[in-house]
Amino acid sequence: MFETWGGIAGVQSTLELMLDEGYLKRGVPLPMLARLLSGAPAERFGLDQAKGRIALNCDADLALVDLNAPYTLKASDLYQKHRHSPYIGRSFGCKVKMTLLRGQLTYSEASPFPNHGTGREFNVVCPGEVNISS
């Protein structure tokens, strides 16, 4: 599911951060967090026909998280190209154990990235976007 590993520092930990701060510490309901982190972005970028929800004919993009697996993030835990993050040394109350992209295992704690590079390109549509190309 997750992120582009060469991207912005801290992106790898976003789901764990949101679950830790939102659900575990503040009691934000899990369905609301799922909507904010998955459904709404898919709709915003015109991907909601295949992404952002668990439904028939949608991609099976899933993250399996243990909500009772506290840990402290170390630089050696990072899979990003540049092993720095504002969250190094931060304790989380949960941990991503596995991710699936279109039903295929893309990450597991036991064997990170068995099928690296299985993504596909989407044409993103942004509401109100103006096409200025000639």
Question: What does the pLDDT read at residue 7?
Answer: 42
Low-confidence stretches of the chain (pLDDT < 50) are 1-9, 130-134
Long-range (24+ apart) CB contacts under 8 A made by 70-75 are 70/94, 70/95, 71/95, 73/13
pTM for the whole structure: 0.73
Close Cβ partners of 41 (under 8 Å, ≥ 6 residues apart): 52
